[in-house]
Amino acid sequence: MQRADSVSELRATVAEWRRAGLRVGLVPTMGNLHAGHFSLVSAARECCDRVVASVFVNPTQFGPNEDFSRYPRTLDADAQGLAGQGCDLLFAPAVEAMYPFGPGAATQVEVKGVTETLEGAFRPGHFAGVATVVLRLLNLVQPDVALFGRKDYQQLLTIRRLVTDLGLPITIVDVPTVREASGLAMSSRNQYLGADEREQAALIYATLQRMRAGIVDGEPVEAVERAATVALEAAGFRVDYVAVRQADDLAPAVAGRREGLIGLIAARLGTTRLIDNLAIDG
């Protein structure tokens, strides 16, 4: 596996692939990689000739009271894991390479509509940071395909809208959430959890499953959301939101509709904030 730390190295390698007529895939990550990330690399290998994975902890998507400073950085282990998964190029830029004028002075991209609710309401500025860094990565790599996990569902919708709205010739591929045996969605932040908390955290996925069953059985959305919130709070979670929304745009679910919905949860357990979602099709 090759490694590029600078934009010039990245572009030189990708340009060489382009001259050979190869199809290029991009897997953007913030590092501290796990099986969920590696599933993206595997999916990229299936549809592309060459795979670029980026590792960059993006400062512009963290709020002032969030975990940017303690977010786990494990670049050597990440590089070893990516090489073992058949990644062709690791792009691991410094902040200066991604933001030449500094993060605070960077040109920002804002995606309207889908970003204002749920995560956007609880993490102001988060999606502007996500859209900005993803657009820059897409511009630097210019891949044919970029792959993202479904666990960060609102992020996935934001990136799809960004690519469509700006007319970028890139296919966005979403990859199913990888879960631990308990059902807990794999996340780099899971390592913040203690052993007891890790077991308890699996209740989020169990709650999503109960929400899906309730909607399929015809229960009103408000009742399903309320029951899920009560159950999580009784189990010791601090709930940011429990929601059933239209899957295509996160608009509120239409009364009586059971198809094309998604259940979403964000809740805190101790000092760790966890998110998950589950498709609902009645």
What residues act catalytically?
A: 37
Question: What span, in angstroms and rounded, lies between the C-alpha atoms of 222 and 150?
Answer: 24
3-state helix, strand, coil in the chain (%, to 5): 40, 20, 35
Question: What span, in angstroms and rounded, lies between the C-alpha atoms of 254 and 263?
Answer: 14
Question: What span, in angstroms and rounded, lies between the C-alpha atoms of 148 and 30?
Answer: 12
Instruction: Convert 9-45 to b/e letters by CB count within 10 Å (16 or more is b).
Output: bbeebbeebeeeeeebbbbbbbbbbbebbbbbbbbbb
Record the tokens describing residue 271, joined without a space. 């000092």
- C-alpha closest to that of 106 among 132, 140, 134: 132
Record the tokens describing residue 10, joined without a space. 């990245």
Record the tokens describing residue 102, joined without a space. 């500094």
Place of tokens 């966890």: 274
Burial grade of 212 (CB within 10 A; 0-12, 13-18, 19 or more):
buried
